[in-house]
């Protein structure tokens, strides 16, 4: 059985890296499939955690798989950081609930007044803030678009962390254990 490590480190090349050492060539196709399955699972977790209608899909689409073979090991990364930072620079806040380098919960607009609208031009309704009631943009169930000349709003609640990386890591551990039983 190969030595298998799951490394989670947001400052590395990818937030989730799988590494097989030793006789990696025998397991290379399995690790590639595992990387694809992990990427697909992480994308599905992100899609399940969407709170407002009108998602652009940029965050889930930014999750890519990258492979790298170096002498003695084969690595598969899920979520290439440079690509994620370009396509969906807010991924860190969505996953962890705070900005990089801070432990303070992130409040949109840093708690200051911002202008914009929900959906296709609807104003925020204070009494329904954060309720995600279906029925249209006026209820705050759709995306907020920051724009000068829009309506004034002051967010009071921090972004709740979605933890799509740790959810995927937990899934990966059980997935690997069930699969590893069949490896010879």
pLDDT at res. 30: 78
| Conformation bin of residue 98: beta by default, left when phi > 0, alpha when psi is -120 to 50 | beta
pLDDT at res. 37: 92
pLDDT at res. 27: 72
- How does pLDDT run across 39-87, given as a tens digit for each residue? 999 999 999 988 776 778 899 999 999 887 777 677 788 888 889 999 9
Asked which of 8-12, 24-28, 109-113, 143-147 is least confident by mean pLDDT, the reply is: 8-12
Whether the CB-CB separation of 98 and 104 falls below 8 Å is answered with yes
Residue of 19, 26, 33 whose CA lies nearest to 1:
26
Residue 69 has a CB neighbour count (10 Å cut-off) of 12
37 burial (CB, 10 Å; 0-12 / 13-18 / 19+) is middle
> How far from chain centre, in Å, is Cα 183?
30
Q: Is the pLDDT of residue 184 over 50?
A: yes
Residues 6 or more apart whose CB falls under 8 angstroms from that of 23 comprise 2
* pTM for this predicted structure: 0.78
CA gap 43, 104 in Å, rounded: 26
Whether the CB-CB separation of 148 and 115 falls below 8 Å is answered with yes
pLDDT at res. 117: 76
Residues 6 or more apart whose CB falls under 8 angstroms from that of 50 comprise none
The number of C-alpha atoms within 13 Å of 166 and in the hemisphere containing its C-beta is: 7
The residue ranges of every structural domain in the chain are 3-98+161-180, 108-154
């Amino acid at each position: 059985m190969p030595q298998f490590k799951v490394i989670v480190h947001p400052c590395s090349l990818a937030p989730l890296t799988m590494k097989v050492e030793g006789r990696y060539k025998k397991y290379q196709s399995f690790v590639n499939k595992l990387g694809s399955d992990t990427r697909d699972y992480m994308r599905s977790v992100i899609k399940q955690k969407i709170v407002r209608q009108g998602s652009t899909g940029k965050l889930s689409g930014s999750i890519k798989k990258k492979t790298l073979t170096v002498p003695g090991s084969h690595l598969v990364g899920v979520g290439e950081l440079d690509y994620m930072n370009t396509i969906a620079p807010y991924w860190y806040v969505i996953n962890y609930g705070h900005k990089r380098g801070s432990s303070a919960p992130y409040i949109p607009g840093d708690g200051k007044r911002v202008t914009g609208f929900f959906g296709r031009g609807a104003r925020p309704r204070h009494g329904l803030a954060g309720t995600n009631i279906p029925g249209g943009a006026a209820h705050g169930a759709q995306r907020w678009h920051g724009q000068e000349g829009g309506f004034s709003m002051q967010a009071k609640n921090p972004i709740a962390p979605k933890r799509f990386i740790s959810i995927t890591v937990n899934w990966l551990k059980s997935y690997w254990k069930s699969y590893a039983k069949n490896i010879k």
